[in-house]
Amino acid sequence: MANDRQEPDSSKAPTSADVARRAGVSQTTVSQVLNGKAGITRISADTRQKVLDAAANLGYTPNHAARSLRERRTKLIALVMPTIGNPYFSDVVHAAQEVARDAGYSVAVIPMRAAGDLRTSALLQGAACDGIIATGHDNCSSPDLLALKARGLAVVVVQEPSPDPAISSISVDLEEGGYIATRHLIRQGHRRVCHITERLRALPDAESRLGGYRRALAEAGLPFDPELVFVTENSMEGGAAAVDRLLELAQNSPTAAFVYNDRLAVGALARLRERGVNVPGEFSLVGFDGLAIGAFTAPALTTIDSPREAIGRLAAETLIKAIEDGYQTGQTHRLPVRLVVRGSCGGQPAP
Amino acid sequence: MANDRQEPDSSKAPTSADVARRAGVSQTTVSQVLNGKAGITRISADTRQKVLDAAANLGYTPNHAARSLRERRTKLIALVMPTIGNPYFSDVVHAAQEVARDAGYSVAVIPMRAAGDLRTSALLQGAACDGIIATGHDNCSSPDLLALKARGLAVVVVQEPSPDPAISSISVDLEEGGYIATRHLIRQGHRRVCHITERLRALPDAESRLGGYRRALAEAGLPFDPELVFVTENSMEGGAAAVDRLLELAQNSPTAAFVYNDRLAVGALARLRERGVNVPGEFSLVGFDGLAIGAFTAPALTTIDSPREAIGRLAAETLIKAIEDGYQTGQTHRLPVRLVVRGSCGGQPAP
DNA sequence: ATGAAAGCGCTAACAG
DNA sequence: CTGTTAGCGCTTTCAT
């Protein structure tokens, strides 16, 4: 050995031809040994071992591009989300990843802030992945998503209505969640229950939190008052701002709120505290999602827990089935939710 | 047209050969038109337009695998993180993504829970990406990361010490942060300041929060008491558990804590409240990271703000330079932090 | 200004 | 049981 130093980065990665040469066999044999479905008794134990040794010595790793090109599949799933850093989707992703791994797929999360990102991300274009799990309103409703599907990618959407009958969607039962949350507040004696929400969408009642909210109201014989629906930005600041607005309602001001998600609820809770409104004494709150933070707020947050792992698992299973079957069934899964009672809503407030 | 229905998923994606045929030119010309560096006056305006039209009509997208195989580069950067759903890294990722996009790269986030994931993720193996930005202790210190580098991938680590002199690292000045945080508490009159931290690492003082904590103590002539370092799980629950332990200290119990990060601090804050300890009246707290949630806790959290965007930007810039230059410089960037004073630490507590 | 041909690394017919 | 050959879709010399 003239020089044991590691070569610089230029140490070209070994190819299967290198392995073949070193093992004294053909490239085919290398391929067979390394990928051969077990039981294809094609290779002698001796040859097999030689190949394995050579591959190990060389530190051989199959070139992904070459394999993908040849096999016309990548074993890669893209998970598109509006932003990373959302604890809700963290659990979804983890579950999806586990299912994917067991099926031999890897998962890459593609953060999508800008609208055009679906068109520009290298992983989504040119068959760089086999399928897409899409989350977030903008991504799921984008025509670009349909274009990707039209190019042969399998697509599943999560927590959004399916943009195309052939695309499967996995989500929790938002309507039921809204119903349970609102009913819980009404049962505590509240008569004026408001709803704090982000952007209002044109969804059928049966598919939205708002629909459930209205159903609970109707069931209790309470009127639906559009003035009690506060639309705000989807952030903690947004939740706080909504509280400011609802506290301005001089008369008939609400005594409770069903809040779109826990993030908004955390902001609302903070602002109520700042404004000296006692929760749950004077005002009650129910959130949505079941985030961990809800157990650490003051008071802890009553919320609608969403089966995040189940969502991720189902999304991955559905997607992988679509990939491997070569066609999409366009089924809709709607998962049940669960009320988690904590400190943010008490009994009947002072009238 | 016999049938206008979209073909099923089997509508094979058009290739550059298809475009060439349709435009009545050669594949070479198609490639030149579509990728040709501007100014290579090789193609006539007429031909150029024909190709562009044909490509548009066919909805042509270059096949990623084929291009990567041929060019020996993917224009893809992998961002490895222990878990998605961390708001801290969310900002880092966003900034990195922006830089990457401007340089013609896409970013894929690879969640890495299990230790072996670095070896099994398809995106990291077989030159499926050009470089890796790694975060999280386990990933950055893994021998697998070095193996990937040895195979020619560019690597940058974030918020972790560089595992190899050739690997660049970008991080905030943790020591300075620990110093500023602790000094702030001492200046408020606290004499018994504890430190709540996740796993204790064997780092030089100059590179850790703990080092800064000790420096501030020493500067104020206060003894360093190992009993006042509470090691706990890195979660809100962990922060709460640490509070339980520190409140057990019958005598000489601390009146303030410098906490490893905001997540732990949120948990600590919640438990202090539950236990009836007034913050900041009886106990003060400084966190680390500058997460948004800190502005919505009760009281709001004093913290050390970290320049997350700068980190992401620098990480991407450094990585891309390494990719394009073909070698790594192994520089260390250490970014300054900033104290954000909010409600969780007041003046001198009752003695 | 354009085209023909080669080859990136891999797998799968098809021979033997 | 193993090797030869072709070709996935692309870019790029090298001719013309």
Of the candidates A12, A89, A123, which has its C-beta nearest B108's C-beta?
A123
- Phi, psi torsion values for A199, nearest 5 degrees: -10, 130
d(CA A145, CA A72): 20
Q: Which nucleotide is nearest to B65 (CA to C1')?
A: D9
pLDDT tens-digit series, residues A3-45: 333 344 445 789 999 999 999 999 999 999 998 765 566 788 8
Specify whether the CB–CB gap between A213 and A258 falls below 8 A: yes
Judged by CB atoms closer than 8 Å, whether chains meet at A65 and B74 is answered as yes
Coil, helix or strand at residue B33: helix
DSSP letter assigned to residue B248: H
Specify whether the CB–CB gap between A343 and A302 falls below 8 A: yes
Output the six-digit token pair for B119.
Answer: 């070896």
Judged by CB atoms closer than 8 Å, whether chains meet at A267 and B83 is answered as no
With a pLDDT cut of 70, the percent of chain B lying above it is 94
Q: Which residue of A has its CA nearest to B63?
A: A126
d(CA B103, CA B317): 9
Can you give the pLDDT at residue A206? Answer: 83
Q: From the CB of residue A218, how many other CB atoms can be counted at a distance below 10 Å?
A: 11
Task: Looking at the complex, report in whole angstroms how far the Cα of residue B74 sits from the nearest Cα belonging to chain A.
Answer: 8
d(CA A347, CA B12): 62
Judged by CB atoms closer than 8 Å, whether chains meet at B266 and A293 is answered as yes
Taking residues B68-84, what's their average pLDDT?
Answer: 95
- B131-135 β-sheet, strand order: A332-335, A168-172, A154-158, A131-135, A76-81, A106-111, B106-111, B76-81, B131-135, B154-158, B168-172, B332-335
pLDDT tens-digit series, residues B288-343: 999 999 999 999 999 999 999 999 999 999 999 999 999 899 999 999 999 999 99
pLDDT beyond 70 at B5: no
Judged by CB atoms closer than 8 Å, whether chains meet at B151 and A59 is answered as yes
pLDDT tens-digit series, residues A163-210: 999 999 999 999 999 999 999 999 999 999 999 999 888 888 888 999
DSSP letter assigned to residue A302: E
Mean pLDDT of chain B: 91
d(CA B51, CA B59): 12
Can you give the pLDDT at residue A300? Answer: 96
d(CA A169, CA A155): 9
Closest CA to B239 of A163, A254, B247, B221: B247
Judged by CB atoms closer than 8 Å, whether chains meet at A64 and B94 is answered as no
d(CA B330, CA A116): 34
Q: Which amino acid is at A272?
A: L
For residue B127, name the pLDDT band (cuts at 50, 70, 90): very high
Which residues in B24-41 are b (16+ Cβ under 10 Å) and which e?
Answer: ebeeebbbbbeeeeeeee
For residue B113, name the pLDDT band (cuts at 50, 70, 90): confident
Output the six-digit token pair for B100.
Answer: 């990457």
A-B Cβ pairs (cutoff 8 Å, strict): 215
Residues of A in contact with B10 (CB under 8 A): 152, 326
The H or E element spanning position B56 is helix B45-58
Can you give the pLDDT at residue B39? Answer: 58
d(CA B349, CA B190): 7
Judged by CB atoms closer than 8 Å, whether chains meet at B84 and A62 is answered as no
Residues of B in contact with A84 (CB under 8 A): 84-85, 89-90, 93-94, 109
Mean pLDDT of chain A: 91
Specify whether the CB–CB gap between B217 and B182 falls below 8 A: yes
Residues of B in contact with A106 (CB under 8 A): 110, 120-123
Window 207-266 of B, Cβ < 8 Å to A: 235-236, 240, 266
Q: Are strands B338-340 and A332-335 parallel, antiparallel or unpaired?
A: unpaired
Output the six-digit token pair for A286.
Answer: 């129910």
Residue nearest to nucleotide C2 (CA to C1'): B29
Q: Which residue of A has its CA nearest to B327?
A: A9
